[in-house]
Amino acid sequence: MPRHLIYLMLLLGNGTIFFSCQEFSRTKRLKLAHGLDITHPVHQGMVFMAEKLAEKSDGQMQIDIYPSQQLGTERQCLELLQIGSLDITKVSGAVLENFAPKAKVLSLPYIFRSREHAYRVQDSPVGRELLLQSERYWLRGLAYFDAGQRSFYTKDRPVHRPEDLQGLKIRVQESITAMELVRQLGGSPTPISWGEIYTSLQQGVVDGAENNPPSFYTSRHYEVCKYYSLSEHTAVPDVLIIGTTTWNQLTPQQQEWLQAAADEAVVHQRQLWQAAEAEAFREVTKAGVEIIRPEKSSFAEKTKAILENYSDQPEMYDLIQRIQAVPE
């Protein structure tokens, strides 16, 4: 082959490599880690968001998702966001309160009157304010994902009234508010990470836990706990969070694409959640779980002091009143 053709082929090859590298460099890849199983509707909501972001940016932005605590617990992921070693995570609002104090309002018992009221609050100016108030802690909220209403499930005895929790060790999240709620109801709160709950239930480290129906089902905790009491004491949302280090490195256009993808994912995830909730009830009932529907007013009465305790904290009390004033 003539030398000039060899030279031309090498030149074209190098050019292809050069342009391929240029194309690759234009793709902004974000790393998202969380603790849930891939079958969980919150994980599926994040997958939908990643697909929408790739679509909106014409492939210029990609999200790589690491589920099932591959990169750490919720607390550890938040810490990684703060130092810029991770881009996005999903945490429960209950865990977020340890990093952004006002977020504890999301964990207050019976602060939301219904699912519809919770959605209205999350979509309102006060909901947006809560997402952004964590920026001073290097964490910026992107969106709320539905995490349902949390209720108690137990191994050895059903919970029909608050008194039935007396003396029971109940697993809670690492949340001051969640621990206080269980204490007010007479139980003994025991913070344990998500991945350790199943064995803790099996071994009797705790007598029960509290969570939403899909999490109760996908975690297979129903294999150990055969009583599920729908106290629906809190409706703590999951919060999708980006580290401010990452957010500030994005261009205005990239920020717009990401926020739009997150907003669309919220709508889709709410539909996924309600379907998953119905499936969870069907499956755990088939597995022999007794579904108990207690009188919720007795639980609300026992825990109302938690809200009243904020009357001497003007900022928090104002936040509570603004949330309660949002119509359904």
Least confident of 23-32, 44-53, 71-80, 115-124: 23-32
pLDDT score of 20 more than 60: no
C-alpha distances out from residue 283 to 191, 216, 220, 279, 290, Å: 27, 11, 11, 6, 12
Residues 191-216 have pLDDT tens digits of 998 889 999 999 999 999 999 999 99
CATH topology for 3-146+237-278?
A: D-Maltodextrin-Binding Protein; domain 2 (3.40.190)
The mean per-residue pLDDT over the stretch 110-116 comes to: 94
The mean per-residue pLDDT over the stretch 43-69 comes to: 97
What does the buried/exposed string (b/e) look like for 14-52 if buried means 16 or more CB atoms within 10 Å of the residue's CB?
eeeeeeeeeeeeeebebbbbbbbeeebbbbbbbbbbbeb
pLDDT at 25: 56
CATH of 150-235+281-325, picked from 3.30.1360.150, 3.30.450.20, 3.40.190.170, 3.40.1010.10, is 3.40.190.170
pLDDT at 218: 87
Six-digit token string for 106: 């999301």
For residue 134, what pLDDT band results from cuts at 50, 70 and 90?
Answer: very high
Could you tell me which of 75, 107, 99 has the C-alpha nearest to residue 178? 107
CA–CA separation, 215 and 245 (whole Å): 31
For residue 173, what pLDDT band results from cuts at 50, 70 and 90?
Answer: confident
Residues 260-270 have pLDDT tens digits of 999 999 999 99
Interhelix angle 115-122/125-132, nearest 10 degrees: 60
C-alpha distances out from residue 182 to 44, 170, 206, 209, 317, Å: 30, 7, 13, 10, 21
**SS3 state at 203:** coil
Q: Taking all residues of the chain, what is their mean pLDDT, rounded to a whole number?
A: 91
pTM, entire model: 0.84
Interhelix angle 41-56/252-286, nearest 10 degrees: 150
- CATH topology of 3-146+237-278 equal to that of 150-235+281-325? yes
Owner of token pair 């340890």: 98
End-to-end CA distance of the chain: 78
CA–CA separation, 266 and 259 (whole Å): 11
Q: Is residue 213 a contact partner of residue 281, using CB atoms and an 8 Å limit? A: yes
Torsion angle in degrees (nearest 10) through CA of 259, 264, 270, 273: -90
Give φ, ψ of 204 to 5 degrees: 80, 15
pLDDT at 175: 86
Could you tell me which of 242, 266, 274 has the C-alpha nearest to residue 52? 266
CA–CA separation, 139 and 80 (whole Å): 10
Q: Is residue 130 a contact partner of residue 107, using CB atoms and an 8 Å limit? A: no
Percent of the chain exceeding pLDDT 70 equals: 92
pLDDT at 79: 96
pLDDT score of 15 more than 70: no
For residue 58, what pLDDT band results from cuts at 50, 70 and 90?
Answer: very high
pLDDT score of 19 more than 70: no
Q: Is residue 214 a contact partner of residue 276, using CB atoms and an 8 Å limit? A: yes
Helix (H) / strand (E) element for 152: namely strand 150-154
For residue 89, what pLDDT band results from cuts at 50, 70 and 90?
Answer: very high
CA–CA separation, 249 and 16 (whole Å): 29
Q: Which residues touch 286 (CB under 8 Å, ≥6 apart)?
A: none
Give me the half-sphere count of Cα atoms (radius 13 Å) on the Cβ side of residue 64: 9
Percent of the chain exceeding pLDDT 90 equals: 85
pLDDT at 82: 96
Residues 262-305 have pLDDT tens digits of 999 999 999 999 999 999 999 999 999 999 999 999 999 999 99
pLDDT at 298: 95
pLDDT score of 45 more than 60: yes
pLDDT score of 111 more than 70: yes
What does the buried/exposed string (b/e) look like for 117-153 if buried means 16 or more CB atoms within 10 Å of the residue's CB?
bbbbbbebebbeebbebbeebbbbbbbbbbbbbbbbb
Could you tell me which of 111, 100, 168 has the C-alpha nearest to residue 138? 100
The mean per-residue pLDDT over the stretch 151-177 comes to: 95
- Where in the chain are the domains? 3-146+237-278, 150-235+281-325
pLDDT score of 168 more than 60: yes
Residues 231-247 have pLDDT tens digits of 999 999 999 999 999 99
Could you tell me which of 69, 92, 212 has the C-alpha nearest to residue 141? 92
pLDDT at 26: 81
